[in-house]
Structure 1
Amino acid sequence: MNLYLFQVVNGIGLGMIYFLISVGLSIIFGLLNFVNFAHGAFYLLGAYLSYTAVSITGNYWLALIIAPLCIAFFAWVCERTLIKRVYHLPHMYQILVTLGVALIIQELCISIWGPIGKSISPPDSLKGVIAIGEFYYPQYRLFVIAFAAVVALLVWYLLDKTKFGALVRAGSEDAETVSLLGTHTHRLFSITFALGVGLAGLAGVLAAPIKGIHPFVGPEVLGIAFVVVVIGGMGSFTGALVGGLLVGIVQSVMSTLWPQGASLMIYAAMALVILVRPYGLFGRA
């Protein structure tokens, strides 16, 4: 029984990481109608930057702050110089451009950090386990769940209770009208893109001590993010959260029940949701 409880809690931790990745992808598509195939590569870059920051400073907490901010800034530069030029083009061209960016980032990571995987140790204060009766669980994984939950709450507040969030939601409905009302939409697009990608970089930092880092994880992360978005519904914060938790728990529990089919089952869950609700659990037509 403790084994399955362990896997469920593991799944919640994975699900919160998947949420951080997919909510950024969902926000970007919801506002910009832009398909970002480089999202997984930014996750990868965030993980590697955290590895470098920890290697230089020996301080994981500093890496947790620096790496996502660097990724967000890099995403802002990419959006201002390249991405904004293909907003008006069909999705096929957006996919080609962002896929090219993803390949460039991947090859740069291999050139700088090498093809061999890296690992990061959790901070000393979070090493060890917490005992709750006969149930033992790693402290760092509990921290990931709690920290990601706080970030989720902050993102919800930003999108639901602030003027910026109102503009993002209005822009996802009719960007032209928002522009006519006096909002600098290009600046709004840049900030939104940086925010979404920064959250993916943050997920990479949080996941690095758990899953390690290797230069070919980008496509895998991107695939899971799309599954979460499809299950939860495009452009939905709640959908990204519920979809991430569902995928994380299914993947974690199935790794015990049927290890060979753990990845297969998340796609089966996606197919089931599509059959019942083609626009996702919380999506709109």
Structure 2
Amino acid sequence: MANFVQQCFNGLVSGAFLALLALGLSVIFGMLGVVNFAHGAFYMLGAFGAYVLLTNAGVNFWLALAAVPVALAVFGCLLERAFIHRLAALDPLYNFLLTFGIALVLQDLVKREYGVTSRPYPPPAELNHPIDLGLFNYPGYQVFVLAASAAACAAVWYLLTRTRVGVVVRAATERPELTRALGINVGAWVTPVFGFGAGLAGLAGVLAAPMRAVNPLMGADLIITVFAVVVIGGLGSIVGSVVAGFGIGVATALCNLYVPALSQTLVFVFMAAVLLWRPAGLFGREEARV
């Protein structure tokens, strides 16, 4: 029993990163209609940002956790204004290729400066001890990651569902054409929403730095799984992204316990099954068929 519960906790922690990344990716897709392949690179930059601040400036984890997501959000806004919005009127394939190219450029720039060797990033001393959860002891930092990601997802949910700004963003994300018809300038929200999504990826990267290998390819290794999570939850669905992220994390962890050979492909098996059963995703809206 204890082993089962512990494996569920492992899955929730892994799912925390998937949920944060999928949440940002889903918001960007819903607003811009852009499959942002550079999202994994933002995640990688978040981890490297924390590493660079620690090694070059002595900035601790807590300050990095506050500063790096903001810096990535600003960087995302600049990137959207400089490149992505110029292709908004064209076929979405062009922006997909553009963001794919941006991801490669960012990865190569980091590889040129730091190489491909993984860099260690220590967890904060305050959390570098086990916590007694009753049935078992669990690493304190992983408990913090789970709590922080859940709090971040809850804060985003509150922002998007209980504030006027959130209502406009959610409407523009899920029904952009209808929102424009109501007289709201959806274009004015595009840049900050893209930056917001990039900031969520940066937050996930900082949280991942003490747990995952900090290297230039860490985002590329994860982004395909995140895309699958977004498809399972429903393209553009905020709730679906979070539920699917945590759910896939737990399912993969349990599969790794009982059927290890299937754990690496489980997310894609789920994606195929969901698409066959409900092409719009678990929480996506079905489009009217003629």
- Contact 2:174–2:237 (CA under 8 A) maintained in structure 1: no
Pairwise mapping of residues 237-276 of structure 1 onto structure 2 (< 5 A)? Answer: 237-276=238-277
Going from structure 1 to structure 2, the CA distance change for 1:176 and 1:259 (only over 3 Å counts) comes to closer
Q: Higher helix share goes to which structure? A: 1
Aligned match of 1:44: 44
Aligned-CA RMSD value: 1.7
Pair 126,167 (structure 1): closer, same or farther in 2 beyond 3 Å? same
For 1:117 and 1:153, locate their aligned partners in 2 and report how far apart those are by CA, in whole Å.
32
Q: Could you tell me which residue of structure 2 aligns to residue 150 of structure 1?
A: 151
- Structure 1 runs of 4+ with >6 Å offset: none
- How far, CA to CA, are the matches of 2:273 and 2:179 in structure 1? 37
Cα distance between partner residues in 2 of 1:170 and 1:269: 28
Q: TM-score, normalised by structure 1?
A: 0.94
Q: Which amino acid aligns with 2:187?
A: H
Question: What residue identity is the alignment partner of 2:27?
Answer: I
Task: Please list every run of 5 or more consecutive structure 2 residues that lacks an aligned counterpart in the other structure.
Answer: none
- Per mean C-alpha deviation after superposition, the further-off stretch among 156-165 and 16-25 is 156-165
- Aligned residue for 1:249, secondary structure, equals helix
Listed one character per residue, the Cα deviations across residues 105-159 of structure 1 (whole Å, up to 9, x for unaligned) are 0001111222111121110000110123341100110101111111111101111
Contact 1:239 1:282 in 2 (8 A): yes
Partner amino acid, structure 2, of 1:101:
I
Specify the SS of the correspondent of 1:238.
helix
**Aligned mates of 1:218, 1:107 — CA distance in 2:** 13
Amino acid of the residue matched to residue 22 of structure 1? A
Distance apart, 1:43 and its partner CA: 0.6
Once residues 184 and 120 of structure 2 are traced to their aligned partners in structure 1, the CA distance between those partners, rounded to angstroms, is 44
CA contact (8 A) 1:23 1:241 kept: yes
User: Which consecutive residues of structure 1, in runs of 5 or more, have no partner in the other structure?
Assistant: none
Displacement of 1:173 in angstroms is 5.0
Counterparts of 1:281 and 1:229 in 2: how far apart (Å)? 10
Amino acid at match of 2:35: V
Deviation at 1:200, TM superposition (A): 0.8
- 1:182 is displaced (CA, Å) by 5.5
C-alpha displacement at 1:96, in angstroms? 0.9
Counterparts of 1:53-72 in structure 2, within 5 Å, are: 53-55=53-55, 56-72=57-73
Q: Tell me how far apart the structure 2 counterparts of residues 270 and 180 of structure 1 sit (CA, whole Å).
A: 34
Distance 1:216 1:177, change over 3 A: same
